[in-house]
């Protein structure tokens, strides 16, 4: 089982960091008149969905009555209507029924408007748990109907302590500098830190460096671009990679900056500093043209 799943907290006591949020949530769950709608917001990989699942367990929801919906795939009015239609039915087993809406900011305005009444007049046996990285994309009327809980990124020292704890339990032996490098790459996300740890165990030192450097980049084409720039490939090769990249240019810029910042911190070469300088300006107004121009500047100066 992947480490980030194996070591996912099962209770509030096991949850690492974000103590004010955890304490507030614990206080709410101990009330007799628990709210029926919860909104968990914060950066990706910092525990929103984990807290939602813990709430489901604390409330006493059975697996048969726990509906987790990925809102990036089920985001329209039909999904909202299905929820509204089904929520009136009694739980299959136990006393409560829970709907966890992950990435809820990706739902359509029609979905959100349709769900307003359900969130305001929720049946006594139904609870809604909403998770999002972008609460600003939700209707204010949705937000105002929820008890809100925000998670923050963990500081580097807490990430390192988590990595060392899991390493001891798994028999993984790494140097302090590797833990520090993983923590930097994870950028405050305990999930990402454990994903990287899982990827590097058993690798050689030079392989570990490459995996950590590329761990924050999801799209293969973007990794290929970083590698091509690092290897100082000819423009023909780089332009072919650029043609295949459909990722948002600003996201590519951040990936390139992260990649070469890691190289610069570890090797201190002037070329990495040059790449960073070429990619320092945002692409908001120029889009892919800005990305192409930045790459061209790296190659030809």
* Helix (H), strand (E) counts: the chain: 15, 5
| Mean pLDDT along residues 38-59 | 95
Query: Last residue of some domain: 173, 191, 216?
Result: 216
pTM of this structure: 0.74
Range of the domain at 49: 18-150
For residue 40, the cross-strand partners are: 131, 149
Confidence of residue 95 (pLDDT cuts 50, 70, 90): very high
Instruction: Give pLDDT tens digits for 61-88.
Output: 999 999 999 887 778 899 999 999 999 8
Strands (E), the chain: 37-41, 66-70, 97-102, 126-132, 147-150
Q: Is residue 9 part of a domain?
A: no
Contact in structure between 44 and 133 (CB atoms under 8 Å): yes
For residue 129, the cross-strand partners are: 38, 100
Q: Are residues 291 and 261 in the same domain?
A: yes
Q: Are residues 196 and 231 in the same domain?
A: no
Instruction: Give pLDDT tens digits for 150-201.
Output: 999 999 999 999 999 999 999 998 989 899 989 988 888 999 899 999 988 8
Q: Is residue 7 part of a domain?
A: no
Q: Is residue 111 part of a domain?
A: yes
In the chain, what is the straight-line distance between the N-terminal and C-terminal CA atoms, in Å? 47
Distance between CA atoms of residues 298 and 221, nearest Å: 18
Per DSSP, the three-state class of 131 is strand
Q: Are residues 134 and 222 in the same domain?
A: no
Q: Are residues 115 and 40 in the same domain?
A: yes
Percentage of the chain with pLDDT > 70? Answer: 98
Q: Are residues 143 and 26 in the same domain?
A: yes
Q: Are residues 41 and 133 in the same domain?
A: yes
* Number of domains making up the chain: 3
- Which tokens in the block code for residue 277? 């300088």
Q: Is residue 4 part of a domain?
A: no
């Amino acid at each position: 089982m992947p480490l980030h799943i194996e070591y996912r907290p099962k209770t509030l006591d096991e949850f690492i960091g974000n103590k004010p949020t955890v304490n507030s949530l614990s206080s709410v769950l101990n009330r007799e008149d628990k709210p029926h709608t919860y909104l968990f917001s914060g950066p990706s990989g910092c525990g929103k969905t984990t807290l939602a699942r813990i709430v489901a367990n604390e409330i006493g929801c059975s697996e048969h009555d726990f509906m987790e919906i990925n809102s990036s795939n089920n985001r329209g009015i039909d999904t909202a209507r299905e929820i509204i239609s089904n929520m009136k039915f009694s739980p299959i087993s136990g006393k409560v029924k829970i709907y966890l809406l992950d990435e809820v900011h990706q739902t359509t305005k029609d979905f959100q408007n349709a769900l307003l009444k359900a969130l305001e007049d929720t049946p006594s046996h139904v609870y809604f748990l909403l998770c999002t990285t972008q609460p600003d994309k939700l209707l204010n009327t949705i937000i105002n109907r929820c008890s809100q809980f925000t998670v923050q990124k963990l500081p580097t020292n807490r990430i390192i302590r988590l990595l060392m704890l899991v390493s001891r339990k798994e028999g993984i032996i790494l140097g302090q500098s590797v833990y520090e490098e993983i923590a930097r790459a994870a950028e405050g996300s305990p999930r990402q830190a454990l994903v990287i740890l899982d990827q590097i165990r058993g690798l050689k030192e030079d392989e570990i460096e490459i995996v950590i450097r590329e761990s924050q980049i999801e799209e293969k084409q973007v990794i290929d671009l970083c590698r091509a720039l690092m290897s100082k490939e000819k423009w023909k090769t780089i332009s072919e990679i650029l043609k295949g990249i459909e990722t948002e240019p600003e996201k590519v810029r951040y990936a390139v900056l992260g990649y070469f910042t890691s190289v610069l911190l570890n090797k201190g070469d002037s070329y990495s500093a040059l790449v960073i300088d070429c990619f320092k300006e945002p692409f908001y107004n120029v889009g892919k043209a800005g990305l192409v121009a930045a790459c061209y500047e790296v190659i030809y100066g």
